[in-house]
């Protein structure tokens, strides 16, 4: 389970017809990674995570609707020293 604080903005060239929404959303996270010990106290790692917080519907001041999917992909690379 994931929780994220979002700010969604559907901007177009005309500022009078943009739409926005903010607030918290629950979703899910999946991912995986590998870690490799290359010396006595040193490791390196690579991780991937996908976050999905669903879709929201935005309506601008002119009444136009847009569905926005809120998701993210992250890749992390790390170097660790173990004390």
Q: What are 36-80's pLDDT values in tens digits?
A: 999 999 999 999 999 998 988 877 777 778 788 889 999 999 999
Q: Which range of residues forms the domain containing residue 73? A: 2-81
Q: How confident is the model at residue 12 (pLDDT cuts 50, 70, 90)?
A: low
Quote the number of domains for the chain.
1
Whether 8 contacts 20, CB under 8 Å: yes
- pTM score of the predicted model: 0.66
- State how far the Cα of 63 lies from the Cα of 23, in Å rounded to an integer: 21
Q: How confident is the model at residue 21 (pLDDT cuts 50, 70, 90)?
A: low
Query: What per-residue confidence (pLDDT) applies to 14?
Result: 57
Query: What per-residue confidence (pLDDT) applies to 18?
Result: 59
Among 44, 42, 45, residue whose Cα is nearest residue 83 = 42
């Amino acid at each position: 389970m994931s929780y994220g604080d979002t700010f969604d903005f559907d901007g177009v060239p005309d500022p009078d017809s943009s739409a926005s929404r903010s607030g918290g959303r629950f979703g899910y996270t999946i991912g995986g990674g590998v870690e490799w010990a290359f010396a006595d106290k040193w490791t390196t790692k690579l991780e991937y995570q996908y976050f999905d917080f669903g879709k929201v519907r935005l309506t601008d001041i002119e009444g136009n609707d847009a569905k926005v999917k809120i998701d993210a992909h992250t890749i992390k690379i790390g170097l660790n020293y173990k004390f």
